[in-house]
Amino acid sequence: MIGSGVSAMTANQTESATQQIKQFALDAGADVVGIADPRAWDEHAPEGHRPYDILPGAQSVVVVGSRGPTAGAWRSPKHRVMEVNGYDFRNDAASHRVADMIESQFDHHAIQSPALPTGGHLPPISMMLAAVLAGLGTRSLAANIILNPKYGLLYYSACITTLECDHDGMLEQDVCPHHMCVESFRRFGKTPCMAACPSDEGGCLDGSIDEEGRIETSYYDRERCVSRAMNFGINSFQKALAQIVAEEDEERQHSMIHSDFFSRSCSAITHYKESVAQCFECMRVCPIGRAERKLQ
Amino acid sequence: MTAQKNIDFASAKSELVAIAGKSGALVSGVAAADAFGDVPEGYRPDDILPHAKSVFVIGGAQPRAGDWQSPNYQHMEVTTTSDRMQTLALKMAHIIEDRFSYYAVCVPPGVDRGQQPFMSISMAADLAGCGSRSLAGPVLHPEYGFMYYGAVITTMPLPGDKPFDPPACPAPECVEMYAAQGTTPCLATCPAKAGGCLGGRIEDGRFADRQYDAERCATRVQNYWVPGFQHVLGATLREPDADKQKMMLFSSMFSRTLWSMTYSNVSQGQCAECMRVCPVGREHRTKK
């Protein structure tokens, strides 16, 4: 029986297991990996949304992050390339492999943390919070996206396990705002992301930076962002379907069903590598991770 | 991974080919980005990635010999493996960027506006010497026959490969059959003149006047997935009888269409008959 009768590991064994798991995750396709203490959720997440609510006895949460679009995709003048090609699920695959490895090698329970919405738009466990608590990044002014100090935007998955590992702490220094953005805010009253999508001009973002160069306030119009960033996918499918069902004219209904818009919405909800987001403009101008996106 | 300096591009290509092979590609090759000159503007490699120099093509993940043997045709419909090449192409794009510091972007799968592909991966496979166009439609590799392809556009100037000469299609058996009977196995199995999708001639050992009725083929090949869903949705909405409409909503057709649209491993193509009879790559479809 997995996890039963297993004696507690020594500090050296825990350290060794932690290093093995981290290296395994990187070899499995993750660009970054960190391990969070499940008890760290108590302060931030309501009951029912903590790791041990999903896996009783959880002792560690192994969080992996991977880059989505390649640097080449960021340079493409065809915006549809990023829409269709942004995401390759490497983080999901890596977290599954980590879970397999922990169960087979360390004889402890391990599961992939559920991250898709199950009630309203809420996931059972927030991957954003997991990434922050595992020390992989901090929240940003740009739509609260968690930015990693090296790569900027990453996609995160996690594996919850009953195996006790050494835990990483949260980052001591905020990744956002970048010093260049602090300077920009002081001179122009906006950071690059706010300037790309200003809420006072029909965009989604606003905020302020305090004297110490930290985020003072942040505003993100999620509803507006969704209506723009998710033009294709489940949301657009539902919207288009409602219009199609309500259309009384048979010929017009036929045209709507076979339109490019509906076809692309259908395509986007299939497992067809279509990204669930179609706007990356706040990230495109973000200086964090830019060095990683600059090649030959 | 640490980016290399002073790159030997021939060695780099060999390294990429080896990684692709180890990761599941049966074939790989390189097409020069400027070889797409005849393609309309907007659909060339450098329309997707400015300053593109090469297109790295991988191929593989074709149905296994056992798949072709199954008497249950629905087996092939629900066990597609085409996605493996797309996943590998994305991996290769990251490897090119991480290891060699050149931009790389995976050619998106599927279609863009107006059901047009972003860039023809078939053409890239042809130019990269990974296969050649056939009378039946798919690109065929001379040894392995039908397979799935993925392509990565990159600013890295990799040494290019050349198209196969002679091409994989028509196979010598098909040339002989055409001389004797005026048709080939694929033309005979789906003749345009008798309600099928394929037509064409063979002249001097090469195919000519190829006819492929893409619209007709799509209505037969893509019975499920997005086109099937659109079709059945329209029919269901037009049904005035509430009981019948409910039956249509819960019908096998509607359910299978939804299965095929979700991540259920259902192939986007449900007809492989022109490939079933193709002699190219047959020895790899023949086991004990």
Other C-beta atoms closer than 10 Å to the C-beta of B18 total 11
Which pLDDT score, from 0 to 100, does residue B264 have? 56
Contact B261 A78 (CB under 8 A): no
Q: Residue B58 class from Cβ within 10 Å (0-12 exposed, 13-18 middle, 19+ buried)?
A: buried
pLDDT interval class at A5 (50, 70, 90):
very low
Which pLDDT score, from 0 to 100, does residue B135 have? 95
Of the residues B113, B134, B154, the one at which a domain ends:
B154
- Asked if residue B238 and residue B131 are part of one domain, the reply reads no
Residue A27 pLDDT exceeds 90: yes
What residues form DSSP beta bridges with A198?
A205
Instruction: Flag whether B148 is in a domain.
Output: yes
pLDDT tens across B132-188, in order? 999 998 999 999 999 999 999 999 999 999 999 999 999 999 999 999 999 999 999
Q: Which domain holds residue B111?
A: 9-154
Percent of chain A past pLDDT 70, that is, above it, reads: 95
- Asked if residue B127 and residue B19 are part of one domain, the reply reads yes
* Chain A: closest CA distance from residue B257 (Å): 11
pLDDT interval class at B227 (50, 70, 90):
confident
Locate B119 and state its tokens: 């860039």
Contact B124, B18 (CB under 8 A): no
Contact A99, A2 (CB under 8 A): no
B185: which residues sit within 8 A by CB, 6+ positions away?
A: B173, B174, B177, B277, B278, B279
Burial B230-265 (b: 16+ CB within 10 A, else e): bbbbbebbeeeeeeeeeebeeeebbebbbebbeeee
Of the residues B136, B154, B172, the one at which a domain ends:
B154
pLDDT tens across A39-67, in order? 999 999 999 999 999 999 999 999 999 98
Task: Give dist(CA A156, CA A175) in Å, integer.
Answer: 16
Other C-beta atoms closer than 10 Å to the C-beta of A75 total 19
Instruction: Flag whether B215 is in a domain.
Output: no
Which pLDDT score, from 0 to 100, does residue A133 have? 98
- Asked if residue B133 and residue B248 are part of one domain, the reply reads no
Which pLDDT score, from 0 to 100, does residue A1 have? 37
Name the interface residues of B facing A (CB cutoff 8 Å). Answer: 47-50, 83, 86-87, 90-91, 93-94, 97, 101-106, 108-115, 118, 153-156, 225-226, 229-230, 233-234, 237-238, 261-263
Q: Identify how many contiguous H helices and E strands chain A contains and give both numbers.
A: 13, 9
Residue among A97, A160, A166 nearest A135 (CA): A166
Which pLDDT score, from 0 to 100, does residue A203 have? 95
Element (H, E) at A235: helix A234-246
Contact A270 B261 (CB under 8 A): yes
Residue B100 pLDDT exceeds 80: yes
Task: Give dist(CA B162, CA B159) in Å, integer.
Answer: 10
A222: which residues sit within 8 A by CB, 6+ positions away?
A: A143, A204
At residue A204, what are phi and psi to the nearest 5 degrees?
Answer: -115, -15
**Which residues of chain A lie closer than 8 angstroms to B158, CB-CB?**
none
Which pLDDT score, from 0 to 100, does residue B165 have? 95
Locate B150 and state its tokens: 């993925």
- Asked if residue B47 and residue B127 are part of one domain, the reply reads yes
**Which residues of chain A lie closer than 8 angstroms to B114, CB-CB?**
260
Instruction: Flag whether B270 is in a domain.
Output: no
Strand, coil or helix: A234: helix
Q: Residue A290 class from Cβ within 10 Å (0-12 exposed, 13-18 middle, 19+ buried)?
A: middle
pLDDT tens across A285-295, in order? 999 999 888 89
Q: How far apart are the first and last CA of chain B?
A: 43
Q: So what's the ipTM on this one?
A: 0.84
What residues form DSSP beta bridges with B58?
B28, B150
Q: Identify how many contiguous H helices and E strands chain B contains and give both numbers.
A: 13, 8
Across B264-275, average pLDDT: 74
Instruction: Flag whether B54 is in a domain.
Output: yes
Residue B258 pLDDT exceeds 70: yes
**Which residues of chain A lie closer than 8 angstroms to B87, CB-CB?**
88
- Residues B248, B253, B257, B259: is their CA dihedral positive or negative? positive
Mean of pLDDT over chain B: 90
Residue A152 pLDDT exceeds 60: yes
Locate A120 and state its tokens: 């309203």
pLDDT tens across A224-259, in order? 998 888 777 788 888 899 999 999 999 999 999 999
Instruction: Flag whether B177 is in a domain.
Output: no
Instruction: Flag whether B272 is in a domain.
Output: no
CB-based contact, A238 to chain B, within 8 Å: no
Mean of pLDDT over chain A: 91
Contact B108 A84 (CB under 8 A): yes
Contact A273 B263 (CB under 8 A): no
Contact B262 A250 (CB under 8 A): no
How many folded domains does chain B comprise? 2
- Asked if residue B127 and residue B14 are part of one domain, the reply reads yes
Instruction: Flag whether B174 is in a domain.
Output: no
Amino acid identity of residue B129, one-letter, is G
- The length of chain B in residues reads 288
pLDDT tens across B29-56, in order? 999 999 998 899 999 999 999 999 999 9
* Chain A: closest CA distance from residue B103 (Å): 4
* Chain B: closest CA distance from residue A256 (Å): 10
Amino acid identity of residue B14, one-letter, is S
**Which residues of chain A lie closer than 8 angstroms to B234, CB-CB?**
253-254, 257-258
Task: Give dist(CA B116, CA B111) in Å, integer.
Answer: 5
Which pLDDT score, from 0 to 100, does residue A90 have? 85
Bond from prior residue into B166 cis (ω within 30 degrees of 0): yes
Which pLDDT score, from 0 to 100, does residue A2 have? 46
A67, A79, A81: best to mutate for the B interface, most B CBs within 10 A: A81
- Residues B141, B146, B147, B151: is their CA dihedral positive or negative? positive
* Chain B: closest CA distance from residue A189 (Å): 34
Which pLDDT score, from 0 to 100, does residue A276 have? 67
Contact A78 B91 (CB under 8 A): no
Could you state, in order of their start, the residue ranges of all structural domains in chain A?
11-161, 233-269
- Asked if residue B233 and residue B118 are part of one domain, the reply reads no
At residue A79, what are phi and psi to the nearest 5 degrees?
Answer: -65, -25
CA A263 to chain centre: 27
Residue B117 pLDDT exceeds 90: no
Contact A175, A138 (CB under 8 A): yes
Residue among A172, A198, A173 nearest A185 (CA): A198
Contact A73 B106 (CB under 8 A): yes
Which of A27-41, A107-121, A176-190 is predicted with the least confidence, judged by mean pLDDT? A107-121
Contact B94 A270 (CB under 8 A): no
- Asked if residue B241 and residue B129 are part of one domain, the reply reads no
Q: Residue B112 class from Cβ within 10 Å (0-12 exposed, 13-18 middle, 19+ buried)?
A: buried
Across B100-104, average pLDDT: 96
